[in-house]
């Protein structure tokens, strides 16, 4: 693994895991809650209420943060795939061979 990919993996992976795991769920929960509550409070369960709720600033803000979470997930996934595809390509150290008694034990 090159120094650059190892550095990116060390620094980006924990951030991507943290954002992807906890915050994405919270953003979806907030967006859905806001949309359903605003829809029912303003217009009732009608199509007009649905569209009014979609345009509300709280719903738009939650959807913005969902998009940020999606970009973080995509960045982490791309780095993971890139790292898996390039691992060991420029490795020059010889592989260590284990003695026979260690292998059979």
- The label of the residue with tokens 């010889």 reads 94
DSSP structure class, residue 99: P
pLDDT tens digits, 31-44: 777 778 878 887 77
Nearest-angstrom CA–CA distance, 102 and 105: 5
Q: What is the pTM of this model?
A: 0.53
Over pLDDT 90: what percentage of the chain?
Answer: 14
**pLDDT at residue 33, rounded to an integer:** 79
36 close to 95: Cβ distance less than 8 angstroms: no
Pick the closest to residue 49 from 35, 28, 62 (CA basis): 35
pLDDT tens digits, 52-63: 888 888 888 888
Nearest-angstrom CA–CA distance, 31 and 39: 12
Nearest-angstrom CA–CA distance, 12 and 10: 6
């Amino acid at each position: 693994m090159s120094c650059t990919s190892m550095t990116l993996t060390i620094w980006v992976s924990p951030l991507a895991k943290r954002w992807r795991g906890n915050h994405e769920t919270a953003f979806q929960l907030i967006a859905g809650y806001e949309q359903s509550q605003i829809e029912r409070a303003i217009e009732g369960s009608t199509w007009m209420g649905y569209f009014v709720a979609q345009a509300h600033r709280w719903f738009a803000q939650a959807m913005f943060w969902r998009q940020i979470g999606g970009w973080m997930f995509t960045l982490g996934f791309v780095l993971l795939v890139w790292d898996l595809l390039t691992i060991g390509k420029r490795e020059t150290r010889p592989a260590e061979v284990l003695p026979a008694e260690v292998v059979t034990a």
